[in-house]
Amino acid sequence: MMANVMRLLPAVHEIQQTDKFDELKVKKEIPGLLLKEWTQQVLDEFRENIKFEPGKYDEYSRDSFIEAILDKLEKKAAGFSKFRLRRVINGTGTVLHTNLGRARLSERAVRQVVETSGHYSNLEYDISEGKRGSRHDIIQDLLAKAAGSEAAIAVNNNAAAVYFILRALASGREVVVSRGELVEIGGSFRVSTIMEESEAQLVEVGTTNKTHPYDYENAINEKTRMLMKVHTSNFKTVGFTKEVATKELTEIASRQERGEDDPLLVYEDLGSGSLFPFMHAGIGEEPVVKEALKNGADIVSFSGDKLLGGPQAGIIAGKKKWIDKLKKHPLARVLRVDKMTLAALEATLFEYVYNEENLSDIPAVRDILASKESIREKAEAFLERAGELRSDWQFEMAEDHSQVGGGTMPVEELPTVGLKLKVAGITANKLESMLRKVEVPVVTRIKDGEVFIDFRTIAEDETALLIRSLQEVQLSS
């Protein structure tokens, strides 16, 4: 009997000849080869089901199978996207959401990326001299001005920056770090592991909660190359604590009798790397890059796509002598950034250097600083247009707290406003899942057993898109 049922399964070419197949190609703009691939997958699924569930398809005819196969193809097409990397609507309220790409770029940065990537550029060409140039020179001046340093260089992320600095400036030598600062961030990235890979020798001092200046002083010997301070961006130690400030470390280093060719360096990994003083707005205690350098650090590193609000990058700033050494190191080529990153970074830094009085054009800065009142206005604007949706949807305005995200300011809570979403007969978990399966997925969170959209991370121009995404949710399925 099973063999007879198997014979009723249509061939791929039969499915390709149907009107529905052509309709999916045209209306959904799905390539024919991809639809053919899906058809083969669906046929294979039916073959497996027939083997393991004998009798289930005994009443099926050839036409029944064709109809069922086309139905499955239609469902696949409903969630189709040409590319794996796609736009989503961030309704979580987490501004620097690592899973959702962290910082959004400013309009100026996006335009610069498009202009640079869509045409030839002077990436490594000196226009004034008519000869080969260096990509490092493109943002050298802006980076240095924004960070308040003598010189600077960008690599592909901050983990790379940490490794680069340790490998190029401290390989085979000792680097002293407080035990309380041996952090682990996302993806099991540990400072101690990176140090091991760089072949710098870790020297731990102090305890988890308290480290004193004398701990560093007692650890210094002729093998010591660097005193390293790591800003603990993704956690906060409270209670009976003590840490040694950058300025104290530079004072300790300056008292060492070393020759000019072998000074004791002070390196601070700032992690998130803020160029804007959020603490002046009463938000967090994130150190500003300029302050770390003013306090005497020889070199600092930080991320480009966190509080800076730019593209993924690891920025290294500091004294020209050490930046020049990094530029000449073989790893500079291995870790260099591409033209699109440079374009986005240059445009973002331009805002900090020449528009520092008004940084609202940088989405990350704007969204972190956004007041509860301004967020409420966005939620109300959405509700004014919510009549376009089916009557099944129920909305309730609610207050809550957002997070900065990206391993930054972990205990900081930002007062916010959002909407609870309900549909009769559909659980919150089911609705949350359905919202993720539309053409432009809406990523939300569950609050008090209900789906919650935080409007801190919904841009003003996303209202229409959000409504369209909600309209696409198949509430009857």
- Listed residue (271, 268, 267) closest to 186, CA to CA: 271
pLDDT surpassing 90 at residue 4: no
Contacts 24+ apart (CB under 8 A), 47-55: 47/6, 47/9, 50/2, 50/5, 50/6, 51/2, 54/1, 54/2, 55/1
Q: What does the pLDDT read at residue 237?
A: 63
Amino acid identity, position 113: V
Q: Considering only 36-40, 264-268, 473-477, which range has the smallest mean pLDDT? A: 473-477
Q: What does the pLDDT read at residue 471?
A: 92
pLDDT digits (tens, 9 = 90+) for 338-373: 999 999 999 999 999 998 778 889 999 999 999 999
pLDDT surpassing 60 at residue 239: no
- Listed residue (390, 378, 397) closest to 473, CA to CA: 390
Distance, in Å, from the CA atom of 359 to the CA atom of 357, rounded to the nearest integer, reads 6
pLDDT surpassing 70 at residue 95: yes
Phi and psi angles of residue 402, each rounded to the nearest 5 degrees, phi first: -95, 170
Radius of gyration of the chain (CA): 28
Contact 154, 337 (CB under 8 A): yes
> Considering all CA atoms of the chain, what is the largest pairwise distance in Å, rounded to the nearest integer?
91
Q: pLDDT category, 258, cuts 50, 70, 90?
A: confident
pLDDT digits (tens, 9 = 90+) for 378-420: 999 999 998 888 888 999 999 999 999 887 887 789 999 999 9
> What rounded mean pLDDT belongs to the chain?
90
Distance, in Å, from the CA atom of 96 to the CA atom of 308, rounded to the nearest integer, reads 10
